Amino acid sequence: MRFSKMLIPTLKETPADAEAVSHILMLRAGYVRQLTAGLYIYLPLGLRVIEKISKILREEMNAIGAQEITMPVLHPSEVWQQTGRWYEIGEEMFRLKDRGSRDMCLGMTHEEIIAWLAAREIRSYRELPQIWYQIQIKLRDEARPKSGVIRTREFLMKDSYSLDADEKGLERSYQLHAEAYHKIFSRCGLKFYMVESDPGMMGGATAHEFMAPSPAGEDEFTMCDGCGYAANIELALSIPKEVEAKNWILEEVYTPEKRTVQEVSDFLQLDPEYFIKSILLISDKDPVLALVRGDQELHEKKLNRIIGKHRQAHKEEVKEILGVEAGFIGPMGHRLKIIADACLKEGVYVSGANKPHYHAKGIRPGKEFTAEWNDIHVVKEGDSCPKCNAPLRVERAIEVGNIFMLGTKYSIPMRAFYLDKNGQERPIIMGSYGIGPARIAAAAIEQNNDRDGIIWPKSIAPFDVELLPLNIRDSKTVEIAEKIYKGLTEEGIEVLMDDRDERAGVKFKDADLIGIPTQIIIGEKNLKEGLIEIKDRKTKEAVKVGFREVVEKILQSQIQAETGRAYLKS
RNA sequence: CGGGGAUUGGCUCAGAGGUAGAGCACUCGGUUCGGGACCGAGAAGUCACCGGUUCGAAUCCGGUAUCCCCGACCA
């Protein structure tokens, strides 16, 4: 392709409302434009990247026997009502009415539609297993679209769904996907981890996410270098560092106006881990007192699984229920249900004395109070691995893919049944698996850039090579450029030729910004000696070669880049 | 949904009661040509919207909308 004929609107300055590196670079390098919050236009370069990624997705999905189909974006409400999600999902679902005032919605995901299809088309165990997938638009009215293309209201998704006769089959399909996903993300040049995740609203018991480490990510996960334990912070378990038990005797200490752990800790000159933080929560049924150690944060989601929906009590409620003002609550002497983090089982602590301006020192859990013990703290860097006790790391990441074992959550309400060998009717066992191509692109940029711009992994770059004839008024330059362009193109190499009548500096800057991995520079000086420069975008290293050897050199490096794949050029 | 910030030419921004500015980009002419050149000339904005205060509002006061950030939420 010729640069002069392509829409590549690069920007010299950083757009005011972009913050994430991938967002800034996608805008500056002319890959995308924002229509409004969470809605993006993909320009020619952007589309090429998405298509490169889609191609890899198709190859790897097809390789595990998945079949591509395509389903509507517009759905009738009935199928969603049948599984109950029409009522469970709130404002995140775009809802509308058709002209006959029939309730419709825009698809956020397609479990319902797959189950609907399966209910009609799958009759016998002989037709199982199946894996169906599509690469198609999803719509979600996100509360807060952010970070450019990372969280949008409309986005492309590769979603696949497995249909199996039994749990064993589901495990096999799940495993196939996990392996395909590893290949996909590796081929896309991402650094990533597969971590345990919360199945959340998808239902089902087992789920994993594929996390590409990046400061622009919205998720945090923890990772053990010792045994490989890796989990989303939403459910990660850990053993907090041990605290030496003091031999305090129970006493009340005067702590005027000191309410937070930090304040009391400073006042008494004791580290926060010697404190018990008491938090009053109001659940649907009863108030509950949650206890975590002073150096920990209460994990809302973990607690959610134990006591269900809840919220923090207001100040007045604390006083009313516990008889003390917030800041001086302690775990002793209450009638209500107490849930404490497991690490509090041992040790001697300080906590509120249930008396204004007093704290109690020398509290021994099990003696001064009893509680239900559970892991309800948020994992911190440096905590120990629950499996092997090695130190845990915590990293921020972009969730680029996820896999869920669903079971029969959708097949039963949708009546997706089959007949087994004995002629008995059984629900199909489902799994669902997603990948966001735009997030792959964003993560690739987040992980591969420098001050000059994007550095694409070869596999998903919009072009293989950018050809830079520096001075297109020089006929020799143009002649050679055209030859190389033709030669490479005939070999199946995708070339972007910067044939604009621009100064060399402008072309260099744009080439670095756009981030095509290899640059071929044709300048008058080198040309006089019959030489052309081949420059690597990442290392900035350049080699000079005779212009007749250029095509061959490029071909060689392309083949090297395909390592591990049976790439044959006929 | 809670909190914070922003909104002035295509882009990045300045201007703080007296009627609109710069740099870049764009158009034309000239000079230049291996890391976002230079000189000259031009075109381009009902200062987000609605209302109020004022002789007079981009500027002060209400309100609304949109965008961004933090948090809650997140198939």
- At residue A489 the predicted structure's pLDDT band, cuts being 50, 70 and 90, is very high
Same structural domain, A120 and A173: yes
The answer to whether residue A484 scores a pLDDT higher than 70 is yes
Amino acid present at A303: L
Average pLDDT over residues A306-312: 81
Same structural domain, A50 and A178: yes
Same structural domain, A485 and A422: no
Average pLDDT over residues A337-353: 92
Classify residue A60: in a domain, yes or no.
yes
In angstroms, rounded to a whole number, what is the distance separating the alpha carbons of residues A286 and A302? Answer: 18
Provide the strand spans (E) within A303-435: 310-312, 337-341, 349-355, 358-363, 372-374, 392-407, 417-419, 425-427, 429-435
Same structural domain, A306 and A362: yes
Nucleotides of B under 7 A from a protein CB: 1-2, 5-6, 11-13, 23-25, 32-37, 66-75
- The pLDDT value recorded for residue A202 is 61
Does A15 contact strand B, using a CB cutoff of 7 Å? Answer: yes
In angstroms, rounded to a whole number, what is the distance separating the alpha carbons of residues A188 and A453? Answer: 18
The number of distinct structural domains making up chain A is: 3
Average pLDDT over residues A476-482: 96
Question: Which domain-ending residue is among A410, A445, A480?
Answer: A445
Same structural domain, A424 and A489: no
- At residue A349 the predicted structure's pLDDT band, cuts being 50, 70 and 90, is very high
Classify residue A262: in a domain, yes or no.
yes
| Terminal Cα distance for chain A, rounded | 24
In angstroms, rounded to a whole number, what is the distance separating the alpha carbons of residues A407 and A115? Answer: 12
Same structural domain, A203 and A267: no
Same structural domain, A135 and A276: no
Same structural domain, A361 and A404: no
Q: Are A250 and A368 in contact (CB under 8 A)?
A: yes
Nucleotide with smallest C1' distance to residue A542 CA: B34
What ipTM was estimated for this complex?
0.95
Classify residue A457: in a domain, yes or no.
no
In angstroms, rounded to a whole number, what is the distance separating the alpha carbons of residues A170 and A432? Answer: 10
The model's pLDDT over A158-191, given as tens digits with 9 standing for 90+, comes to 999 999 999 999 999 999 999 999 999 999 999 9
We report the CATH number of the domain holding residue A348 as 3.90.960.10
We report the CATH number of the domain holding residue A441 as 3.30.930.10
Range with the poorest average pLDDT among A92-106, A276-290, A401-415, A527-541: A276-290
The answer to whether residue A569 scores a pLDDT higher than 80 is no
Same structural domain, A71 and A195: yes
The model's pLDDT over A424-465, given as tens digits with 9 standing for 90+, comes to 999 999 999 999 999 999 999 999 999 999 999 999 999 999
Classify residue A155: in a domain, yes or no.
yes
Classify residue A383: in a domain, yes or no.
no
Classify residue A167: in a domain, yes or no.
yes
Same structural domain, A226 and A318: no
- At residue A566 the predicted structure's pLDDT band, cuts being 50, 70 and 90, is very low
- The pLDDT value recorded for residue A204 is 63
Same structural domain, A403 and A295: no
Which of the 391-410 residues on chain A come under 7 Å of nucleic strand B at their beta carbon?
A: 402, 404
Classify residue A269: in a domain, yes or no.
yes
Does A299 contact strand B, using a CB cutoff of 7 Å? Answer: no
Same structural domain, A365 and A408: no
Angle at A494 between CA A54 and CA A133, to 5 degrees: 10
Distance from residue A490's CA to nucleotide B37's C1', rounded to whole Å: 37
Provide the residue range defining the domain that includes A56: 14-75+108-236+394-445
Classify residue A2: in a domain, yes or no.
no
We report the CATH number of the domain holding residue A554 as 3.40.50.800
The answer to whether residue A568 scores a pLDDT higher than 50 is no
